[in-house]
Structure 1
Amino acid sequence: MKKRMVIIGATSGIGEQLARLAIRNGYIVGGTGRRVARLKALKDELGDNFYTHQMDVTLFDEAKTALHNLIDRMGGMDIIVLNAGISNHPASSIVAMEQKVIDVNVSGFVQLFGEAFQYFRKQGHGQIVGISSIAGLFGSSRAAPYSASKAFISTYMQAYRQRCNRIKEDIPVTDIVAGFIKSEMTEGKRGMFWVAETDKAVEQILHAIEKRKPVAYITRRWRLVAWLIHLMPDRLIDRLW
């Protein structure tokens, strides 16, 4: 029986390429996003095994309804990939911009994580995948809300992983710790290195999902960077970022 994967945030970058790869590998895939035209174009490309639903993760009640509607049309859900996220947002002030990042990356994530967790508990199995970032390992003066939001995601997923172990639920929680990957979000940004092609990154992401890994660094070399960051004293990190 084909596995059913829902990708929250499937209209660009990692989410879009993951949808393509999953379809090629025999999954039934549901994709969400705010941009209807992009969802329609992806549906036209991927065909009958790809289902779509418009979703704004900051409209919490509507997003929950959209998720369950999509699950019903797909005939179920085995895996959810929580990929929706932003690094900045046009706004009238820094405070408003930072609040928008938190609304999307933290509040939107938590709402849909909770819906998926309860769905999988009732079903008896399922997998939750969250896209965090190497940026979550340290505070960044240039992207304070983004780095903080990704740290939250990793810690939140770790706590739920422990909870599932304690209550013996068959719900693996996979933290995809992404380094620099070519996408609209990283386009034009300075100071990046080891920038991975989207296809290569997504292949490693799908492999980590299928192996039900608790944590996966994408691409794998970023594990070394994470190790070095953990060894650095705070006074050095504060000078670097």
Structure 2
Amino acid sequence: MKKAIIVGATSGIGNALAKILVENDYMIGITGRRKTELQKLKKLNPKNFSISAFDCTRENNSEKLEDLVAQLDGLDLLVLSAGTGDLNENLEYEIEHATNQLNVIAFTEVVDWAFNYFEKQGKGHLVAISSIGGLRGSRMAPAYNASKAYQINYLEGLRQKAKNSKKQIYVTDIRPGLIDTDMAKGEGQFWVATKEKAAKQIYGLIKRKKTVGYVTKRWRLISLLLKTVPNGIYKRM
């Protein structure tokens, strides 16, 4: 039976993906700040879930993850689904700081720990949920888009390290568009997918060990448009 950890499983994509992995014979360690939500998930399959309630921005992530690995007796897959972001047109520093604390600082600690664990083990699969927002900047959410750009580039760097290590380490960057979770903010949204649909597609990407995946698939078209819009036009949007 494969062993996985999902960092950020109390709600949203991480929660839906945990259910799919359990249905496919995974033992899973689930984390998040809200212990009651983790306990609800565990009740669905008590034997296959181990829980660890902690805040990525305030705890020793390495210590917490090592404890979960001990409970699972191994690790094949780590999915980092914890993230935050708020609209911040007025550039309130507290909002930007909170976004960077989770999306940059905690993100780096978790993915570094996972990569080093898999490198020592000689194999493993690291999956992180970034965002299509990381492809360009945003006047409405500067720190969110910038932090997701950081994640995209960091994961690319880890893929290079994995390739050079000549070990069976896979790094997957999942770039969602709009998903019906607490992260989807603003009016006039389109192509909003359910978290269940997103999780199902993510599981398919995990099985195929894809390097980059857009969820849902149609957001790949938007990604191509974002990359080709001239700077002169984009800055007026």
Structure-2-length-normalised TM-score = 0.95
Give a deviation string over 1:169-198, Cα, whole Å, max 9, x none. 211100001010111222x63132100111
Corresponding residue for 2:13? 14
Aligned equivalents of 1:77, 1:208: Cα separation in 2: 19
Q: Which amino acid aligns with 2:218?
A: R
Say if 2:87 and 2:140, in contact at 8 Å, map to a contact too.
no
Which residue, out of 128, 134, 137, partners 1:136?
134
For residue 5 of structure 2, give the secondary structure of its aligned residue in structure 1: strand
Corresponding residue for 1:37? 36
Say if 1:89 and 1:101, in contact at 8 Å, map to a contact too.
no
Aligned equivalents of 1:36, 1:9: Cα separation in 2: 11
2:130 is the alignment partner of 1:162: no
Q: Are the structure 2 counterparts of residues 46 and 238 from structure 1 closer, same or farther at C-alpha, using a change threshold of 3 Å?
A: farther
Aligned equivalents of 1:77, 1:201: Cα separation in 2: 24
2:233 is the alignment partner of 1:232: no
Corresponding residue for 1:106? 104
For residue 29 of structure 1, give the secondary structure of its aligned residue in structure 2: strand
Q: Give 1:89 deviation, angstroms.
A: 9.5
Q: Are the structure 2 counterparts of residues 82 and 43 from structure 1 closer, same or farther at C-alpha, using a change threshold of 3 Å?
A: same
Aligned equivalents of 1:39, 1:6: Cα separation in 2: 13
Instruction: Report the number of matched residues.
Output: 235
For residue 74 of structure 2, give the secondary structure of its aligned residue in structure 1: coil
Q: Give 1:47 deviation, angstroms.
A: 1.8
Give a deviation string over 1:63-85, Cα, whole Å, max 9, x none. 21111001100111100001111
Q: CA RMSD in A?
A: 1.5
For residue 139 of structure 2, give the secondary structure of its aligned residue in structure 1: coil
Q: Give 1:46 deviation, angstroms.
A: 2.7
Query: Residues 151-190 of structure 1 correspond to what in structure 2 (within 5 A)?
Result: 151-186=149-184, 189-190=186-187
Unaligned runs of 5+ in 2: none
For residue 103 of structure 1, give the secondary structure of its aligned residue in structure 2: helix
2:45 is the alignment partner of 1:46: yes
Aligned equivalents of 1:230, 1:107: Cα separation in 2: 26
Q: Which amino acid aligns with 2:38?
A: L
For residue 171 of structure 1, give the secondary structure of its aligned residue in structure 2: strand
Give a deviation string over 1:7-56, Cα, whole Å, max 9, x none. 00000000000001111111111110011111111111232101110121
Structure-1-length-normalised TM-score = 0.94
Structure 1 stretches of at least 4 aligned residues deviating more than 4 Å after TM superposition: none
Unaligned runs of 5+ in 1: none
| % identical equivalent positions | 40
Aligned equivalents of 2:54, 2:152: Cα separation in 1: 23
Q: Which amino acid aligns with 2:52?
A: H
